[in-house]
């Protein structure tokens, strides 16, 4: 599956970008708050990301959830693109 560039809006990861597999519409990202994950959902919009020639899908912050039994390797920490 091809990857899609996404940019996060809101929450502690505001402005960060990463790639996800095509079709992903909900993203769990590591939170600054212990025991929580940040929840981002695609909103159907695109935006420009500095240093990238392609537009990125916008994922907006919709809240936080307890990490619970979610394995650390399943939590997604966005990485800046250059």
Is residue 45 one of the residues assigned to a domain? yes
pLDDT computed for residue 73 by the predictor: 57
pLDDT computed for residue 52 by the predictor: 87
- The pTM assigned to this predicted structure is 0.79
**Residue pair 26/37 in contact by the 8 Å Cβ criterion:** no
**Residue pair 17/77 in contact by the 8 Å Cβ criterion:** no
- Please tell me the total count of domains within the chain: 1
Is residue 60 one of the residues assigned to a domain? yes
Is residue 29 one of the residues assigned to a domain? yes
Is residue 81 one of the residues assigned to a domain? no
**pLDDT by 10s per residue, the chain, length 82:** 679 999 999 999 999 999 999 999 999 888 888 888 899 999 999 999 988 888 999 999 999 988 877 666 555 555 555 4
Domain that holds residue 27: 3-68
* Torsion of the alpha carbons at 15, 49, 37 and 30, rounded to the nearest 10: -90
Is residue 9 one of the residues assigned to a domain? yes
């Amino acid at each position: 599956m091809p990857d899609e560039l996404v940019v996060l809006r809101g929450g502690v990861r505001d402005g960060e970008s990463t790639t996800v597999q095509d079709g992903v519409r909900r993203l769990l990202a590591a939170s600054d708050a212990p025991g929580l994950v940040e929840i981002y959902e695609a909103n159907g919009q695109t935006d420009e990301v500095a240093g990238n020639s392609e537009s990125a899908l916008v994922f907006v912050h919709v809240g936080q959830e307890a990490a619970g039994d979610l394995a650390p390797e399943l939590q997604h920490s966005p990485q800046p693109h250059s």
